[in-house]
Amino acid sequence: MKRLKVMTVFGTRPEAIKMAPLALELSRRPELEAVCCVTAQHREMLDSVLDIFGLKPDYDLNVMEPRQTLSTIAAKCLNGMDGVLEQARPDLVLVHGDTSTTFAGALAAFYHKIPVGHVEAGLRTYDKWSPYPEEINRKLVGAIADLHFCPTVANRDNLARENITKGVFLTGNTVIDALQTTIVKDFAFRSDILNDLDYVNRQVILITCHRRENYGQPMVNIMTALRRVADAFPEAELVYPVHLSPVVQEAAHKYLDNHPRIHLTSPLDVREMHNLMARCHLVMTDSGGLQEEAPALGKPVLVLRKETERPEAVAAGTVRLAGVEEEVIFQMASRLLSDRAEYDKMAHAANPYGDGHACRRIADAIIWHFGRRETPPEEFGNIPI
């Protein structure tokens, strides 16, 4: 019997981290022919992930240019996908999450009447402007997709509220699959600063911040609060691998340069990032991925956003919303750095996002959907919030 051709499409760092283990799982299945298309909406940050997972894309649209508008990215991805789909003619296109690549990839497949599977489906804030433009991207992909791979029960419930109940699978998040391959005991970082930090006796705070809705005043508030934290807590060492977006680079260097205990670094590769997270004291971030990874490693997270589409770890007590106001961020961080009991309340491992078997479930679900397997996969057994 002819193998089913399944094409993974992704373009940014987080999509790559979460799709790479799936692409590798698909390529191990005898029923499937796995092909991989990257839009390269990100370049260096994408290539670093591809290298680490040993993944070689079959197609590369190479769309990245500095400071592109959202329309330009989407248009270039949509146009580029046309030729790729024409040539490859896959039986299924898999997209991930909520980026411009995700939306354009799903729309291009729909125009070619190719079924779409949405990995990390059903996340919602119900605020069209936050995260921007991701909330609308994922809703639009939800409308297009035929298969929806939901990490959690809450995500599945969100889709049910939109009357999406067919082709829905509860799988866990593939990021936990990725996390299980990267952390090692005696990890050596490429940078001396990270190797030399005293993770036991100092309070190492891992920071990331890049979201578009935080551009401008919210980012200024966040950076100012971070500097106050560094000034107020002599044991604190802030490590901030700065996203390559020029907007973020400018803000981070303007407000955080020239402090002996604030370490601005280049983006870390994913192995370094996960190993740093495993060793740090506290995470402060507006990233989606870090909100999922840190709880699995027992690290408290302060989310530098007004809302989150990942309420599970908030319910589990390991993540708190700190918002984007300077004083609130400073006070919440101060409390965790000065009150051990308060810190200990948050610092316990919780894994609402996955058990490391999401990729296997997604591959099984695809094979079952196309009638090449008798039973659907078992569901990821998370506890509803």
- Residues annotated as part of the active site: 98, 120, 134, 210, 212, 243
Q: Is 11 in the site for ligand UDP (CB under 6 A)?
A: no
Within 173-232, which residues bind ligand UDP (CB under 6 A)?
175, 208, 210
Cβ closer to ligand UD1: 127 or 378? 127
Of ligand UDP, ligand UD1, none, which one does residue 17 interact with (CB within 5 to 8 Å by kind)?
ligand UDP
Residue choice 218, 267, 356, 377 for contact with ligand UDP (CB under 6 A): 267
Cβ closer to ligand UDP: 274 or 369? 274
The DSSP bridge pattern shows strands 4-10 and 168-170 to be unpaired
Residues 6+ apart with CB under 8 A from 6: 26, 32, 33, 34, 35, 90, 91, 92, 94, 366
Is residue 333 within 8 A of residue 231, CB to CB? The reply is no
Shortest approach of ligand UD1 to residue 43 CB, angstroms? 4
Q: Is 8 in the site for ligand UDP (CB under 6 A)?
A: no
CA–CA separation, 120 and 155 (whole Å): 9
Q: Is 17 in the site for ligand UDP (CB under 6 A)?
A: yes
Rounded (5°) CA angle 266-230-322: 85
Q: Is 358 in the site for ligand UDP (CB under 6 A)?
A: no
Shortest approach of ligand UDP to residue 208 CB, angstroms? 5
Q: Is 241 in the site for ligand UDP (CB under 6 A)?
A: yes
Is residue 269 within 8 A of residue 48, CB to CB? The reply is yes
Residues that bind ligand UD1 (CB under 6 A): 12-14, 41-45, 66-68, 70, 73, 99-100, 133-134, 210, 212, 243-246
CA–CA separation, 324 and 209 (whole Å): 11
Q: Is 151 in the site for ligand UDP (CB under 6 A)?
A: no
CA–CA separation, 171 and 185 (whole Å): 28
Helix (H) or strand (E) holding 29: none
Of ligand UDP, ligand UD1, none, which one does residue 268 interact with (CB within 5 to 8 Å by kind)?
ligand UDP
The residue range among 11-19, 118-126, 224-232, 254-262 that interacts with ligand UDP, by the rule CB under 6 A, is 11-19
Is residue 142 within 8 A of residue 122, CB to CB? The reply is yes
Shortest approach of ligand UD1 to residue 333 CB, angstroms? 23
Shortest approach of ligand UD1 to residue 251 CB, angstroms? 12
Residues 6+ apart with CB under 8 A from 69: none
The residue range among 262-270, 296-304, 314-322, 364-372 that interacts with ligand UDP, by the rule CB under 6 A, is 262-270
In our burial notation (b when 16+ CB lie closer than 10 A, e otherwise), range 194-226 reads: beebeeeebbbbbbbbbbebbeeebbbbbbbbb
CA–CA separation, 372 and 31 (whole Å): 8
Is residue 318 within 8 A of residue 345, CB to CB? The reply is no
Cβ closer to ligand UD1: 266 or 331? 266
Cβ closer to ligand UDP: 152 or 208? 208
Cβ closer to ligand UDP: 203 or 275? 275
Residues 6+ apart with CB under 8 A from 184: 275
Shortest approach of ligand UDP to residue 106 CB, angstroms? 17
Residue choice 9, 273, 278, 304 for contact with ligand UDP (CB under 6 A): 273
Helix then strand then coil, in percent of the chain rounded to 5, is 45, 15, 40
Enumerate the H helices of the chain as residue ranges: 13-27, 44-53, 70-88, 100-111, 134-144, 153-161, 174-179, 192-196, 217-232, 246-256, 270-279, 288-296, 311-315, 326-338, 340-346, 358-369
Of ligand UD1, ligand UDP, none, which one does residue 42 interact with (CB within 5 to 8 Å by kind)?
ligand UD1
CB atoms within 10 A of CB 188: 9
Cβ closer to ligand UD1: 42 or 306? 42
Residue number with the smallest Cβ distance to ligand UD1: 99
Residue choice 172, 289, 354, 356 for contact with ligand UDP (CB under 6 A): 289
Instruction: Give the residues lining the site for ligand UDP (CB under 6 A).
Output: 13-14, 17, 175, 208, 210, 241, 267-268, 270, 273-274, 287-290, 293
